[in-house]
Amino acid sequence: MAKEKKVEQITDMEQDFAQWYTDICRKAELVEYASVKGFTILRPYGYAIWENMQRILDGEFKKTGHQNVAMPVLIPESLLKKEGELVNGFAPEVAWVTMGGSEQLEERLAFRPTSETMFCDHWSRVLHSYRELPMLYNQWCSVIRWEKTTRPFLRSREFWWQEGHTLHETAEEAQAETEQQLNCYADFYEKVLAIPVVRGRKTEKEKFAGAEATYTVECMMKDHKALQGGTSHYFGDKFSRAYDVTFTGRDNKLQYPFQTSWGATTRMIGAVIMAHGDNNGLVLPPQIAPIQLVVVPVAQHKPGVIEGAQALRDRLAAAGYRVSIDTSDNSMGWKCAQYEMKGVPLRVEMGPRDMENGQCVMVRRDNGEKTFVKLEELEQKAGELLQAVHDGLFEKARINLEEHIYPAFSVEEAKKLQEEHGGFIKTMWCGDLECELAMKEKAGMSSRCIPFQQEHLADTCACCGKPAKTMIYWGVAY
């Protein structure tokens, strides 16, 4: 992190974290507000980050046999209502179409808040035999949920995501799919976004409407609040029965398939901002950065400097890096501040003295460290330093996570720890809804997950004193 603040129009995160976040979203030209309240426009730089996320995730999905499809954006009300838990869970957020042109529609149409119903309706028509299973589908699209309070990337009335939907012959296969995709998200966060996660299962209260089980990856932001990074849901055969999705099994009898769904959204961009950003702007992990290196000529008015810088740019581009060059007449200070704001992982500088010495200077965005690089080592050093940026970001985020997990043995202690430090508060829990609600009411924290990596902190529930069944993480979340 740079020691001196270079961009005055960004509020300091220590002063007002929420405003700092909004300032970055707009000043780094990621989003702009739309004319319809609660909607945002993904600007080219923000969309380029999303495209890189899509490309990497889509490649991982395809490795495990998933295929992309496209479902309609509108869902008939009667179809949405077939599975009661789902419609009840989303009812407050559904936006409806009631007119078609100048005519009143006979049946209301919902803008999709999620697409389980459309996939089930489709499968009820096309699935016939066990030989066609599994059906491993994914779609990239936007959905609409009429959120009351919105914030760019974190909560908006329209957001972009991928939603995977799969059908399986057996419950065991569906459960394995659910776990596989959760691990896919966890690996993406850690290996691509440089954000460590806690993997676990949601409580019955917090699970997806209609699911038998919901699994989650939970992240820690710089303000020590939690962020749900991605979720994977196991449905059993509940939706199949509600929508009459059947197939002829190996025993030549009709059976109901087992279903999953899983999704991650542009919220991941918000996670990157809040996990890595600083008071000078974005700090982007190299794999998703639209520009991985920017070449900035020093004293570019002197003979040969621009040509030398362009040669660097061409070599880096030929090596497969996403690289840009700035030969504008803006000052060197302005350029440095601009690309720090944009979160470009490496800045490459070359001036007359560097040309004489057969070198350039590479400056890391994450810590400001400068490295003098011999020109014959340009491509290799670029790769090494980009990896060092990723590793440095991950290590900072890992420390931030691990140093803000606190054990507590009563609601009062949990509340005090949250107020003083934020972070995840881990306690033992009896599993009762009443205790989960009490923690929310008395300590202001929701359950984040029942982590897969369990610890035995005590024999009794921190809320009620009854015998404990499991350890659970609590937190204040976005």
Secondary structure, 3-state, the chain:
CCCCCCCCCCCCCCCCHHHHHHHHHHHCCCEEECCCCCCEEECHHHHHHHHHHHHHHHHHHHHCCCEECCCCCEEEHHHHCCCHHHHHHHHHHCCEEEEECCEEEEEEEEECCCCHHHHHHHHHHHCCEHHHCCEEEEEEEEEECCCCCCECCCECCEEEEEEEEEEECCHHHHHHHHHHHHHHHHHHHHHCCCCCCEEEECCCCCCCCCCCEEEEEEEECCCCCEEEEEEEEEEECHHHHHCCCCEECCCCCEECCEEEEEEEECHHHHHHHHHHCECCECCCCCCCCCCCEEEEECCCCCCCHHHHHHHHHHHHHHCCCCEEECCCCCCHHHHHHHHHHCCCCEEEEECHHHHHHCEEEEEECCCCCEEEEEHHHHHHHHHHHHHHHHHHHHHHHHHHHHCCEEECCCHHHHHHHHHHHCCEEEEEECCCHHHHHHHHHHHCCEEEEEECCCCCCCCECCCCCCECCEEEEEECEC
The answer to the question of residue 254 being in a domain is yes
Same domain, 126 and 259: yes
The answer to the question of residue 470 being in a domain is yes
The answer to the question of residue 80 being in a domain is no
The pLDDT tens digits for 78-87 are: 998 887 777 7
The answer to the question of residue 338 being in a domain is yes
Same domain, 242 and 153: yes
Residue 8 confidence (pLDDT): 60
Residue 462 confidence (pLDDT): 97
Same domain, 126 and 249: yes
The answer to the question of residue 260 being in a domain is yes
Same domain, 124 and 202: yes
Same domain, 459 and 363: no
Residue span of the structural domain in which 314 resides: 293-400
Residue 2 confidence (pLDDT): 43
Q: 246, 276, 306: which is the final residue of a domain?
A: 276
Residue 1 confidence (pLDDT): 41
Q: Is the pTM of this model over 0.85?
A: yes
Residue 5 confidence (pLDDT): 55
How do the pLDDT tens digits run along the chain, 478 residues long?
444 555 567 999 999 999 999 999 999 999 999 999 999 999 999 999 999 999 999 999 999 999 999 999 999 999 988 877 777 778 889 999 999 999 999 999 999 999 999 999 999 999 999 999 999 999 999 999 999 889 999 999 999 999 999 999 999 999 999 999 999 999 999 999 999 999 999 999 999 988 999 999 999 999 999 999 999 999 999 999 999 999 999 999 999 999 999 999 999 999 999 999 999 999 999 999 999 999 999 999 999 999 999 999 999 999 999 999 999 999 999 999 999 999 999 999 999 999 999 999 999 999 999 999 999 999 999 999 999 999 999 999 999 999 999 999 999 999 999 999 999 999 999 999 999 999 999 999 999 999 999 999 999 999 999 999 999 999 999 9
Same domain, 224 and 322: no
Same domain, 229 and 302: no
Residue 82 confidence (pLDDT): 84
Same domain, 392 and 305: yes
Same domain, 344 and 427: no
Residue 7 confidence (pLDDT): 55
The answer to the question of residue 142 being in a domain is yes
Query: In the chain, how many domains are there?
Result: 3
CATH number of the domain to which 460 belongs: 3.30.110.30
Residue 83 confidence (pLDDT): 76
The answer to the question of residue 108 being in a domain is no
Same domain, 423 and 393: no
